[in-house]
Amino acid sequence: MTTNLYVLYGGKSAEHEVSLLTALTVLNALDKQKYNVYPIYITKAGIWCSLGLLDHELTDVTELQAEHPDTRPAASIGNLLCKLFSEGTEQKVVLPVLHGTNGEDGTVQGLLELMDVPYVGNGVLSSAAGMDKVIMKDLFAQAGIPQTDYTALLQHEWQSDAERECLRIEGRIGYPCYVKPANLGSSVGISRCDNRQDLCRAVHIALQYDRKLVIEKEVIGREIQLAVIGNDHPQCSVAGEFIKELDFFDYDKKYKSGRLIQQIPARLTDDIHSRLMDLSIQAFTALDGAGLMRVDFFVTDDNDIYINEVNTLPGFTKISMFPTLWEKTNGTTYAQLIDKLIELALERHERKQARNYRRDE
């Protein structure tokens, strides 16, 4: 049976450009003999645009962008989805490569659940929990996964009494610390703070991106990443790390400069490596993960382990760690990895269809 594969990218998010880079790589890697590939571009205004059936190699992200005369997001979504998903008998799968807000936070996943179509990646709950760093850390704490000290800060709390909140943060977390928007990724809006002046400036920056922030005590250690794929029986890759020039790896350094060295497998003892793999599966399970998840840790010089965060929709750009980890783990190619994720999406959807949604009389 022919499979129609709809790739969603762009989006109303600060990570719009990152999504375009991921989409370019994914779309070029897909086997056009196996899938009918339909790129679906979501503009920064939230308008959904179909680029039609893709049958050629793409050379630049500008080819992935389009404008639509309809300026009403709801109308563009409804018209497009009804047209695409109601026609034909082909097997249909959605592959979201949307990063950040309105992409990996459970909103698109909820829409696809209502449309009753299979989609790659985590479901509504795990996407939302993985995106919200405060909820994520609360769940890790409940699961007993080691992590650094943290606290949440809401916008109205800061606006009500910034002095009080500074004192609370200083007493509970101290300096140095990191201030992050709770619902964003790709290092956007993140600042390191050494004193109160830094803290106030960092909060001001982060509140531009989210009403909820997380403040974390700094951990001095190497950043180690692992990749998990699966549904009920997840598997974990070997660990990897980036060798980087700066203490803090910001957005421009991560996505624009390309000056990265991947060390796979990471330089770890066998015991620490095994422990990280176990904790990665534990984190995946704690968030009720499905499909894929990248799990990030800090490992100190004393071999203390702290989970940093997870990414429920990790990037697939040419410098992304997730696909490289699987290639180094068992030889899985980029295209094979996408095929596997599509298979997992279909497997999960098939199980959902077997549920009984009626109460027996």
Helix ranges, 52-123 (H): 73-86, 107-115
Type of residue numbered 136: M
Calculate what percentage of the chain has a pLDDT beyond 90. 71
Question: DSSP secondary structure string, 230-266?
Answer: ESSS-EE---EEEE-SSSS--HHIIIII---EEESS-
Give per-residue pLDDT as tens, 280-314: 999 999 999 999 999 999 999 999 999 999 999 99
Q: Which of 27-31, 81-85, 245-249 has the highest mean pLDDT?
A: 27-31
Containing 134, the helix (H) or strand (E) segment is: helix 133-143
Q: Which residues contact 303 (CB under 8 A, 6 or more apart)?
A: 269, 272
CATH architecture designation of domain 3-119: 3-Layer(aba) Sandwich (3.40)
Type of residue numbered 328: K
Q: List b or e across 253-283, with b for residues whose CB sees 16 or more CB atoms inside 10 angstroms.
A: bbbeeeeeebebbbebeeebbebbbebbbbb
pLDDT at residue 30 tops 90 = yes
pLDDT at residue 234 tops 80 = yes
- If pLDDT is split at 50, 70 and 90, which confidence band does 345 have? very high
Report the pLDDT averaged over residues 333-349. Answer: 95
Q: Which of 26-35, 61-70, 247-256 has the highest mean pLDDT?
A: 26-35
- Separation CA 70–CA 90 (nearest Å): 28
Q: Which tops the pLDDT comparison, 258 or 97?
A: 97
Q: Which residues contact 156 (CB under 8 A, 6 or more apart)?
A: 211
Q: Which tops the pLDDT comparison, 138 or 51?
A: 138
pLDDT at residue 253 tops 80 = no
Q: Is the pTM of this model over 0.85?
A: yes
- If pLDDT is split at 50, 70 and 90, which confidence band does 10 have? very high
Distances (CA, A) of 80 to 23, 49, 205: 19, 8, 36
Give per-residue pLDDT as tens, 150-159: 999 999 999 9
- If pLDDT is split at 50, 70 and 90, which confidence band does 251 have? low
Reference 248, options 310, 199, 180; nearest CA is: 180
Instruction: Please give the radius of gyration of the chain, using alpha carbons only, rounded to the nearest integer.
Output: 21
How many C-beta atoms lie closer than 10 Å to residue 51's C-beta?
16
Q: Decide: 31 and 100 in contact? Cβ < 8 Å.
A: no
The fold adopted by the segment(s) 149-217 is Dna Ligase; domain 1 (3.30.1490)
Q: Which residues contact 235 (CB under 8 A, 6 or more apart)?
A: 228, 229
pLDDT at residue 67 tops 80 = no
pLDDT at residue 6 tops 60 = yes
Give per-residue pLDDT as tens, 183-211: 876 577 899 999 999 999 999 999 999 99
Q: Which of 50-54, 65-69, 302-306 has the highest mean pLDDT?
A: 302-306
Question: How is the chain split into domains, by residue range?
Answer: 3-119, 149-217, 222-351
Distances (CA, A) of 299 to 296, 326, 327: 10, 21, 23
Distances (CA, A) of 69 to 177, 220, 280, 337, 357: 46, 51, 45, 36, 40
- The neighbouring-strand residues paired with 302 are none
Give per-residue pLDDT as tens, 85-141: 766 778 899 999 998 788 889 999 999 999 899 999 999 999 999 999 999 999 999
CATH architecture designation of domain 222-351: 2-Layer Sandwich (3.30)
Q: Locate 350 and state its tokens.
A: 């098939």
Taking all residues of the chain, what is their mean pLDDT, rounded to a whole number?
90
Number of residues in the chain: 361
**pLDDT at 256 (0 to 100):** 52
Rounded to 5 degrees, φ, ψ at 179 are -110, 130
